[in-house]
Structure 1
Amino acid sequence: MSLKPSEDVEMPTSPPPRPLYMQVATAIKDELLAGIHPVGAVLPSEGELAKRFSVSRHTVRESLRRLREERLVASKQGAGTVVLVPPSVAPEIQQVMSIGGLLAFANDTRLGIQHISMLTLDDELVARTGLGVAEEWLVVTGFRYSSEGGSPCCCTEYYINRNYASVGRILPRHQGAIFPLLEDMFGLSVVEVEQQISACLASGEMAAKLCVDAGTAALEVRRTYKTVESEVVQVTINTHPASRFQHAMTMRRVKA
């Protein structure tokens, strides 16, 4: 796929301010996803949280309301705010996987951007991304490099919801994961990441850039980032040479 840079993306002069309650909710959510507060644990009281974050109790209540909407916590009479099993998990089996792990990977690598442009998806891209036909998305392509430099570790494609395409002007100067930047700029909250791993072959420019022979076995990792309203914020496709990719997953039985 060949893309040409576009100058047609309208960008705001400054990002909209992020509500304070969203900042607090995001901080608590990151701790929940990292396992700092295990399932069944009771969060600190509103007063303790207000003191910790230097905000009002009203702000804390709004933050907890947002977390309840995301089904990450529940308020129980006489018991406080209790941490729940993450949604979309079977009652007996919990997949232990933190979105923070995706942040760690992005923060440990550097994205070298080749192209940024608005693109209307054709049938081929619809099949690859799982998005809708004839929809327009901001497409960012490039390669990720390890912190030590050298050959890239994977080929990367980002498909960003056109509602948030203004992020495009910031990306050439941005390091790390993109979805936290979208959260900060637009007051979003990514609560679910769907992952699909498929076998493929590295060919053409991709094989040459990844320093492997054309036709080398590769793994294509597609991740779809969604908000609590199930809006797709972005889709990323990372293509790794098979010899440089390892996926580990831990599952734990949780009592009902």
Structure 2
Amino acid sequence: MRNRSSERSDPQRISMELRGQILQGVFPLGARMPTEDEMCRQFGASRYSVREAMRVLTEEGLVARRPRIGTIVAATKPSEHFVQSVPSMQKLLNYPEGTVRKTIGTGYVEANAELAALLKCPVGERRFRIRALRYAVGSSVPLCYTDIYILPQYATIVNHPHHEFTLVSDQIREVFGERAEKTVIEISSSSIKRNIAKLLDVKPATPSLTVTRRYANARGEEFETTVAVHPASRYTYSFEFKRQP
């Protein structure tokens, strides 16, 4: 049987106590946390246990390491984190229930060299762009920023009655009969640009998970390209595939 001392020195117990102290205001925003040595003495714990506990709090966004200062309180509540578990390849194409895409801007754009490389189209070709933020229902913290580029003839899709709750590709199929016969998904790591960082309420250059989806019709024409930028601390893709009997 574990005694009280060993339980208190467990990394999970240490992180729980420190988290509670942060949430209760014992350590206010910006306050310097005790040093590693101080926490080892306070909890009667090893350096490993203390480091593991602080790692958990860092991943939650509650504390952050600052050069020449130490570890400080970076937030007074854990950052929101959304996990999408994908049981099949088809499910990978969609976000789960419980999220909503809020449009923050629309308009026509002409592809410059950078955008043309992304869309794999000639420089100067036009696209209709939908800018949006995705949220978990009931939350004010955006999970990701999204740019949706579609062919100009589909621009009126923004008037679809369920535009913010369903995939744009599904809406295009429903309204225009254009079906995605092939979808390519690219997942990469990147850093968040300054203009997008402001919308996501994170610092510029914050690590991100960028998911690009390309929808092509039977003729091989790419009629929609969607680029979603997720702060790394707020989103996880979890894949689960089962062998069919």
User: What's the TM-score bracket when you normalise by the shorter of the two chains?
Assistant: 0.5 to 0.7
Match of 2:90 in 1: 99
Give yes or no for contact 2:146–2:228 (8 Å, CA) kept in 1.
yes
Q: Is 1:184 aligned to 2:158, yes or no?
A: no
Q: Distance in 1 between matches of 2:236 and 2:121?
A: 26
Match of 1:139 in 2: 129
Q: Distance in 2 between matches of 1:217 and 1:171?
A: 35
Q: Distance in 2 between matches of 1:171 and 1:132?
A: 33
Give yes or no for contact 1:99–1:193 (8 Å, CA) kept in 2.
no
- Which runs of 5 or more residues in structure 2 are unaligned? 1-86
- Give the TM-score normalised by structure 2: 0.57
Q: Secondary structure at the match of 2:156?
A: helix
Q: How does 1:49-60 map to 2 (within 5 A)?
A: none
C-alpha deviation, 1:131, in angstroms: 3.4
> Cα–Cα, structure 1 residues 173 and 182, in superposed 2: closer, same or farther, change >3 Å?
closer
- Which runs of 5 or more residues in structure 1 are unaligned? 1-95
C-alpha deviation, 1:209, in angstroms: 2.4
C-alpha deviation, 1:133, in angstroms: 2.3
C-alpha deviation, 1:116, in angstroms: 0.7
Task: Find runs of 4+ consecutive structure 1 residues off by over 2 angstroms.
Answer: 96-105, 127-133, 168-176, 247-254
Instruction: Give CA deviations for 1:29-85 in whole Å, capped at 9, x if unaligned.
Output: xxxxxxxxxxxxxxxxxxxxxxxxxxxxxxxxxxxxxxxxxxxxxxxxxxxxxxxxx
C-alpha deviation, 1:250, in angstroms: 4.9
Give yes or no for contact 2:102–2:164 (8 Å, CA) kept in 1.
no
Match of 2:221 in 1: 231
- % same residue: 23
Q: Distance in 1 between matches of 2:229 and 2:138?
A: 20
Structure 2: which amino acid aligns with 1:163? Answer: Q
RMSD value, Cα: 2.8
C-alpha deviation, 1:164, in angstroms: 1.8
Give yes or no for contact 2:187–2:209 (8 Å, CA) kept in 1.
yes
Q: How does 1:159-198 map to 2 (within 5 A)?
A: 159-170=149-160, 174-198=164-188
RCO higher in 1 or 2 (8 Å CA, sep ≥ 6)? 1
Give yes or no for contact 1:151–1:209 (8 Å, CA) kept in 2.
no
Corresponding residue to 1:157 among 144, 147, 154: 147
Give yes or no for contact 2:215–2:223 (8 Å, CA) kept in 1.
yes
> Cα–Cα, structure 1 residues 101 and 243, in superposed 2: closer, same or farther, change >3 Å?
same
Q: Is 1:119 aligned to 2:102, yes or no?
A: no
C-alpha deviation, 1:103, in angstroms: 3.2
The alignment of Structure 1 onto Structure 2 pairs a total of residues equal to 160
C-alpha deviation, 1:252, in angstroms: 7.2
Structure 2: which amino acid aligns with 1:208? Answer: K
Q: Secondary structure at the match of 2:93?
A: helix
